[in-house]
Amino acid sequence: MPKSSRDLFSPDVFDLKSFISPYMMLIPPTIFALLIWWTNQSFGFLFTHTVAELISIIIALTALIVTVVSRHFTKNYFVVFIAIALGWCGFPLC
């Protein structure tokens, strides 16, 4: 017998525990590390370092944009402060 009327109308169709396996936590970082190693071996250190810097700039500016747009919806302004600081640290690198 269901515990509440909510259980009758909302079946558990998405179970997060069965979706995320331990392999999903290990495979993407491993692939990313192998890709960086291959890029370093194939194209040299300067190209690999440039790509790494561009990725960090993209992440910092994305954090800045998301924070500025969504700062009205949060109650934790420390996270807003950190994201804006991170974004401004990435901005001069452009």
Domain boundaries, the chain: 53-94
pTM of the model: 0.62
- Alpha carbon 22 to chain centroid distance? 18
CA 46, 49, 54, 57 torsion-angle sign: negative
CB 87 within 8 A of CB 61: yes
pLDDT tens readout for residues 1-51? 555 555 555 555 555 566 666 677 788 889 988 998 999 999 999 999 998
